[in-house]
Structure 1
Amino acid sequence: MRGSTPRLDPVAVVGPGSVGLALAARLAGQGHPVTLCGRPGSPPVSSVTWSDGRETRTVDVEWCGDPAAVRPFAQVVVATKLYQGEATRAWLERLVDRDTLVVVAQNGIEHRERVAPHAAAGQVAPVLVHFNAERRDRDLVDIRQDGPGLVVGDDAPGRRARALLDRTGLGVHTSADFTTAAWEKLMVNAIANPVTALTCRRLEVFGDPSVRVLSAAMLAEVAEVGRAEGARLPAEAVDDVLPWIDARPAGAGSSMLADRVAGRHLEYDGLLGAVVRRARAHSLAVPMCTAVLALVAALDTTSFAAATPHDPFKRQEQ
């Protein structure tokens, strides 16, 4: 249903994927005029329907497929895939000025680095997305969550982001130690995504004894790198990840598995690639993560790198 709500400040959402659609729809539903920024030439999206199992609602949005057609916004949400760096930068060049709050709702740990130099560090609010969103059509998204769906840092841009994201109703948690929170999430993503993509199996693959041994070794490496980066990861942090994966609903998969099945680029660089890069910076050996990264990078035949030699251990900007 469509209801009348107070009109709030405009928001630009870059990336009409599952997370972008979910955030755009929930912000529009609270009265924010939302401009959804998508790939040039893509069919426009003028409304988004979201469902969370209790409620289904349709809200209007404005579509823009041309970065040259937009002006700076006071609030911009970046929800593109990690490999869409070039397209994201094209939007940021037009959407961001020195007063813009840039909310980066992406995977990984390199949120601020990805939007530089278009936004200064003090303008950028990294956000960890914990809710699950599945886009079932260009304008239809299912939202599922268990607990707070978003995590922001306890700093000036994080507090500005929370004032905006609280209106989504997805539940926002402010973390005084965002570095640790980001590495805790990366421990799951850096293992679950590449292993499911390589095996073309859902999370049940972690029940295989050999896969479990490999995953435990990878987790130990990720935790060591995270601690070198300042994350406060106790010894039990490694032991908690696989039981958490085991507890996921039957048939649960991963975003990287879905991307592989659909023939899309894979987000390996911003996840496992970030671990290996940071390990090198600290002169840490991470042989299991390095080997799995090489294999999953070789899967990404949809990227330009399929025809161009590249080093998967250097930062990819695709």
Structure 2
Amino acid sequence: MHILVFGAGGVGGYYGARLAEAGYAVTFVARGRHARAMADHGLRVRSARGDATIARPTVVEDPGTLAAAPDVALVCVKLMHTEDAARRLAPLAAKGTAVCSLQNGVDRGEILARHCGQDALLDGTTQIGAAIAEPGVIQHTGTMADLTYGAPDGRAPSARMADRLQALDAALQETARRTGGFEARQSPDIRLDIWRKFTFLAPFAGLTARHRSPIGPLRDAPETRRELSQLVAETVAVGRAAGVALADDREAQVLSFVDGLPAEMKSSMLHDLEAGKPLELDWLTGAVVRLGARHGVATPANQVIRDALAAYKDG
């Protein structure tokens, strides 16, 4: 099986390295210093679940140069780069490559479908803390590394995409067993899994970025805890209005999960804000506001955060 990893940052670099470690043919789409370091010196993963070194990873800047279409493309770029990735993957999708996003957000599939076609799509989500520590090196923080994937929107995939999904499942399950690097699960309702992550991630990212603070002080102070609770409630309400069967106690589940996080934990959006990088604001907090308007759900707390961070979204 040939797997294309589009975006070799924390998520793509980590899972792509694990697949290559298990012996699968992996091609990374990357550019800049990170791509050059990978090509010249290999790709290294530092992780409490076991370090890995891929001495000679296959790295390309343009997937259109590949001689044959990969079986599956894992889309791992930041959300603001989805349009570009979708355009560049479209010719491969036309040749039979399955396109599976592992990105944040809940509406990236609309862009991928527009360019690659709905019938080419699989979908996925991951829980992991990983980032580029230096060019050619991925640092995995902690031990959490969960990968969930399935057919989008609960629809039966075409025969070709069903075969691709089963092959991807087999590859990920074998890689998880052989490397111990992550847990893998094929989901019967991937949309629900994606929204379950989103109902935590969007409030967490927005709150920590707006206040430029790790989560500990924010969840402990009465004022910001109320803000967190309202952000979660709005996000869950939007999901339910969109037809997602979130649990009746989903709000309480999210707050309980937040209470179990390390006090010093920051969102990736806060890290990007502090580094002066573009933010996934329009795809997280902004998506809550946008989808709320679409489905008639008021989202005032999310609107406040979106407005407060709008000036910084382009870096």
Could you state the TM-score of these two structures normalised by the residue count of structure 2? 0.85
Runs of 4+ in 1 over 6 A off after TM superposition: none
Report the equivalent of 2:62: 66
The answer to whether 1:185 aligns with 2:197 is yes
Amino acid at match of 2:43: V
The answer to whether 1:164 aligns with 2:161 is no
Report the equivalent of 1:196: 208
Tell me if structure 2 keeps the 8 A contact 1:111–1:126.
no
Report the equivalent of 2:179: none
Report the equivalent of 1:137: 134
Tell me if structure 1 keeps the 8 A contact 2:72–2:99.
yes
Alignment partner of 2:243 out of 223, 230, 243: 230
Q: 2: CA distance between counterparts of 1:36 and 1:235?
A: 41
Structure with more helix by fraction: 2
Q: 1: CA distance between counterparts of 2:124 and 2:277?
A: 24
Alignment partner of 2:86 out of 89, 98, 118: 89
The answer to whether 1:53 aligns with 2:60 is no
Tell me if structure 2 keeps the 8 A contact 1:15–1:79.
yes
Deviates more, 1:280-289 or 1:110-119: 110-119
Report the equivalent of 1:263: 276
Alignment partner of 1:109 out of 84, 106, 109: 106
For each residue in 1:107-160, what CA deviation from the matched residue of structure 2 results, as whole angstroms up to 9, or x when unmatched?
Answer: 111242131233222321111111222321222123356666011136545544
Tell me if structure 1 keeps the 8 A contact 2:87–2:116.
no
Q: 1: CA distance between counterparts of 2:241 and 2:16?
A: 36
For the aligned residue pairs, the C-alpha RMSD in angstroms reads: 2.2
Q: 1: CA distance between counterparts of 2:75 and 2:314?
A: 25
The answer to whether 1:124 aligns with 2:116 is no
Alignment partner of 1:175 out of 183, 187, 203: 187
Amino acid at match of 1:23: Y
**Map 1:141-160 → 2, pairs under 5 A:** 141-144=138-141, 149-153=146-150, 156=157, 157=161, 158-160=165-167
Deviates more, 1:255-264 or 1:132-141: 132-141
SS in 2 for 1:252: coil
Q: Which runs of 5+ in 1 are unaligned?
A: 1-8, 303-318
What is the aligned residue count?
294
1:21, distance to aligned residue in structure 2 (A): 0.4
Q: 1: CA distance between counterparts of 2:32 and 2:130?
A: 23
Q: 1: CA distance between counterparts of 2:229 and 2:29?
A: 40
1:226, distance to aligned residue in structure 2 (A): 0.7
Q: 1: CA distance between counterparts of 2:99 and 2:228?
A: 34
